[in-house]
Structure 1
Amino acid sequence: MTQTAIPYLFMRGGTSRGPYFRRGDLPEDRDQLAQVLLSALGSGHPLNIDGIGGGTAVTTKVAMLSESGDDWADVDYFFAQVSVEDRLVDFKPTCGNILSGVGPAALEMGLVQPQGNATEIRIRAVNTGARVLAKVQTPDGRLTYDGATEIAGVPGQAAPVRLNFMGVVGAATGAFLPTGNLRDTVDGIELTCMDVAMPMAIARAEAFGLTGYESADDLDGNSAFLDRMESVRVKAGALMGMGDVSKSVTPKFGLLAPPRNGGTIATRYFMPWNTHPSMAVTGAQCLASCALTPGSVADGLLVRPEVSPAQVVLEHASGTIEVMVDFSTEGGFSLNNAGLVRTARKLADGHVYIPRSVWAGPEDTP
């Protein structure tokens, strides 16, 4: 055969989708792994026409699962963000939406066994070291995707997947506030640089002359704003100790504005070179933490909850997302854990094929 077959599940996790692999079915070497993922997803073409990517950042994501060697976890979840056109693979961040499908995928793969009507699966996010407890619906000991839960950005209803994130503060940079400041000014834009689940540079929409209520298409069509935002993001990344981030998807960028649809605060999230059509799970935790932190750029944009745990409702481009935040204000704001409800669904399974010239399979591994 002139092609290599790699077993996979194709799943929607939250508002993202992509292939879920067993880590052992892929090359161990990172450079070779990147080439395999680029080929499988079809990176290098706006439609990913020669692969199974969907032509957007939320549909060119990859999950790789294995039994965990961590004493706490059941499953290790290794994430890769594959670019649509630039043939780049970023192994630095994690993705909370794709993580929504890790519990069901682990059950599908037999990495864990169902336990009663709801199965708790302890997941270690390899990229960041975060610990996540996922509660997956398994009535009568059988995995189900059917349910009545709706999430903004996904049509229809499905079974809930409850996620509780722990150990997410400073996972990428080592600090809640990587610059040491509640606010920094870059190119005349006031920012809060924060690392909770995802390192982010966060600004008020009005600082860019925006309302914060623009659609994703309107923002993606505003090249002057995107160019200015990227300049600020790259400089913020350096201030956060992340080095040259011009070719990295982190830190992500977020905008805040007063709520207008009954939520806690209005938000827009960038991936970072275009607008997220809804909201990232990791980004939601960071934005919610920023909203709750006195002295951040969120000051004056919301009525800040004072009692923990607090439900923070983020308005985004497709609707809302709710984050339950357990926090402390003694000696300043600190996050204990954050919880969200997502859904997931298996879309297909089988094998994805790549040219043998890219990788011939396990026998090609040094």
Structure 2
Amino acid sequence: MYMKKYPCVYMRGGTSKAVFFHEKDLPEDRSLWDEIFMKVMGTPDVKQIDGMGGTVSSTSKIAIISPSDREDVDVNYTFKQVDIVIPRVDGSANCGNISSAVGPFAIDEGLVKAVEPITVVRVLNTNTNKIIEEHVRVEDGHAMVHGDEVIKGVPGTGSRIDMYFEDPAGSKTGKLFPTGNKRDIFDVPGYGEIEVTVLDCSNPMVFIRAKDLGIKGTELVELNQNKDVMEHIERIRCIAALKCGFVEKWEDARTKSTSAPKVSIISDPQDYIDMDKNEVKAEAMDICCRAISVGSLHKAYPMTVAVGTGAAARIPGTIVNDIAKPAPDQDIIKIGHSSGVTEVDVKMDGERVIKGGVTRTARRIMDGWVYVRD
């Protein structure tokens, strides 16, 4: 029995990796896609040994690209998060890091004409129906790879990509604050009441104070071993999914809404040692954050969550604003995370989020065919 094969490109975007497909190379029947994507990644299996997944959420991702028929958009981009231990593919949210690889992919694949020195690629993320504008450095007709840009969580340097998430509020729920409140009190079964902020900006997310979980907020992968705290976080996330209207019962979010909402654990600026054993100083950040993605600590910080964190930091009344305390005209919010400090540039009109800007690097790792078993 022969295996099926599909042309693809394996790319790093920011601090994540994904298998990229042209939509035209996939079956017209989209109901077949999820099964293909799980086989591509080797899911379900904690090792993902029979596929291309890297055993963590940031390396178990899929991107599907196609030309757009909209005049204001160059390409359409659909993101899929492939779970690891359960047979599920979640398309309810976007990945900001993988978004950064869409522009270079589109240029190198001939979907967008290369214009030196910078090609502007306008991307419609179909998960959120939001536009991302990407400014990609170009040389000799291809997206540049080499450069002096450093992003925390990726070794070495690369070519700078400037990304702007346009009008990011209400990506899935249609509201910046899905519950109608800037802060809510959740009564968490087995744990009691806790104050949170639920925000939908580039992606839905819930913010939780580290101290309310009984942790410092500087923890790294050891947090995954704290089963009680991780269960507390997951129950909060599930209740937030219910409040956002993603599930009818909060318990269902464990299997039916695994990627949305995202989780950010926030605390005051503080010193810590990051994933690369570098010392990060409190004065380098406005807020200390840890992200939880598909049940585990994110080893950097999702870019969509960075945009949302920056927006929440600038809106009085959120628990994020309480900690960050930015000046009224402070556009740049510095976020201390597992791999260092990332800056997000948030443009506001009062409490309306105009756009959020971040800087990333990306590159093609391999291209060819991926084989899946029937």
In the alignment, is the contact (CA less than 8 A) between 2:195 and 2:208 conserved in 1?
yes
Tell me if 1:214 matches 2:232.
no
Tell me if 1:254 matches 2:264.
yes
Tell me if 1:194 matches 2:199.
yes
In the alignment, is the contact (CA less than 8 A) between 2:285 and 2:341 conserved in 1?
yes
Give the aligned partner of residue 136 of structure 2. Answer: 136
Q: Distance in 2 between matches of 1:49 and 1:29?
A: 27
Identical amino acids, percent of aligned pairs: 33
Q: Distance in 1 between matches of 2:253 and 2:327?
A: 34
Tell me if 1:264 matches 2:286.
yes
Q: Distance in 2 between matches of 1:347 and 1:208?
A: 39
Q: Distance in 2 between matches of 1:130 and 1:7?
A: 27
Matches within 5 A, 1:197-346: 197-215=202-220, 217-243=221-247, 244-247=252-255, 248=257, 249-260=259-270, 261=282, 262-307=284-329, 310-329=331-350, 333-346=351-364
How big is the shift at 1:300? 3.4
TM-score scaled to structure 2, two decimals? Answer: 0.91
Q: Distance in 1 between matches of 2:322 and 2:91?
A: 36
Give the residue type in structure 1 aligned to 2:5. Answer: A
Q: What secondary structure sits across from 1:278 in the alignment?
A: coil
How big is the shift at 1:140? 4.5
Q: Distance in 1 between matches of 2:28 and 2:171?
A: 23
List gaps (5 residues or longer) in structure 1. Answer: 358-366
In the alignment, is the contact (CA less than 8 A) between 2:208 and 2:266 conserved in 1?
yes
Q: Relative to structure 1, is the Cα distance of residues 162 and 299 closer, same or farther in structure 2, using a 3 angstrom cutoff?
A: closer
Q: Distance in 1 between matches of 2:142 and 2:107?
A: 9
Q: What secondary structure sits across from 1:44 in the alignment?
A: coil
How big is the shift at 1:46? 1.5
Give the residue type in structure 1 aligned to 2:235. Answer: S
In the alignment, is the contact (CA less than 8 A) between 2:65 and 2:75 conserved in 1?
yes
Q: What secondary structure sits across from 2:297 in the alignment?
A: coil
How big is the shift at 1:254? 1.0
How big is the shift at 1:237? 1.3
Q: Distance in 1 between matches of 2:315 and 2:185?
A: 18
- Superposed CA RMSD: 1.3
List gaps (5 residues or longer) in structure 2. Answer: 188-192, 271-281
Q: Distance in 1 between matches of 2:134 and 2:65?
A: 14
Q: Distance in 1 between matches of 2:243 and 2:41?
A: 33
Matches within 5 A, 1:160-171: 160-171=160-171
| Residue-by-residue CA offset, 1:18-47 (whole Å, 9 max, x unaligned) | 211101111233331000101111111112
Give the aligned partner of residue 82 of structure 2. Answer: 82
Tell me if 1:181 matches 2:181.
yes
How big is the shift at 1:303? 2.9
In the alignment, is the contact (CA less than 8 A) between 2:309 and 2:320 conserved in 1?
no
Give the residue type in structure 1 aligned to 2:214. Answer: G
In the alignment, is the contact (CA less than 8 A) between 2:313 and 2:325 conserved in 1?
no
Q: Distance in 2 between matches of 1:299 and 1:122?
A: 31
